[in-house]
Structure 1
Amino acid sequence: MTFPAGAGLFRVTPTEPAHLVVPAPVTLADVPPLCERLRALYAAGAGEVVCDLRELVRADLVAVEAVARLRLTARRAGGHLSIRNAGPGLVALLRLAGLGE
């Protein structure tokens, strides 16, 4: 998984939620670094993070695992995670797994 230059530097503004983009393809090895980035956003002061799934065009169980782990990370950090731009196949799998909102 690659992150753009400066990906380790987070600017959190209190008026806007922070954003986390899940890159495609996502693998199981990508999940822990994504969770670390999410924890860093909360540690930098974000109360809400928008998780953008637009790049995940393939709905599979790895994507479901990534969303589940990100939601658990947010809950443990005491923050709120909003899922955005999930495709219909991924939405169906998330609902099947009990992760749909």
Structure 2
Amino acid sequence: MSCAPAAGLPHVEANTPAVLVLPGPLTRAEVAGLCADVRALLEGGGAAVVVCDVAGLGPPGLRSVDLLARLELAARRAGGRIRLRDPDPALHALLDLVGLRFQVEGQTEEREPARGVEEAVETGDPAV
């Protein structure tokens, strides 16, 4: 006996992030569809992070910034985050310029040190 494959997105394990490959120039309708895909991956797959492969987006511009901001908003509304894979250095600089911070795959997450924790100083260490 065989069963038909289930419709919808494939099962994603909780510790394996879902990957969404973003193609070249997109229309507004395609952006809305990608936002729905991000929500579905986070709500249905049990993942907390969706990795967005941005290598194929083409030259960075405000359209790319708008797309990534909308994807991040959709992810946060679904209780997750997006992480970028292979961003162009110019795209990374443009995102910093407009004030959007994304975690990039392979980089450690920047966090503030815990409150009340001070760095210990060893005697004999040169002053910096």
TM-score, reference length from structure 2: 0.67
| Structure ranking higher in helix proportion | 1
CA deviation string 1:55-99 (max 9, x = no partner): 012111110000000111111111121112110111111111111
Q: How does 1:55-70 map to 2 (within 5 A)?
A: 55-70=56-71
The alignment covers a number of residue pairs equal to 95
Question: Which runs of no fewer than 5 residues in structure 2 stay unpaired?
Answer: 1-7, 103-128
Question: Which runs of no fewer than 5 residues in structure 1 stay unpaired?
Answer: 1-7
CA RMSD of aligned residues (A): 1.7
The ranges of structure 1 where at least 4 consecutive aligned residues each deviate by more than 6 angstroms after the TM superposition are: none
Contact 2:18–2:49 under 8 Å retained in 1 = yes
For the residues of structure 1 that align with 2:67 and 2:17, how far apart are their CA atoms? Answer: 20
Could you say which structure has the greater relative contact order, defined with CA pairs below 8 angstroms and 6 or more residues apart? 1
1:40 Cα deviation from its structure 2 partner = 0.7
Q: Say yes or no: does 1:77 pair with 2:78.
A: yes
User: 2:95 maps to what in 1?
Assistant: 94
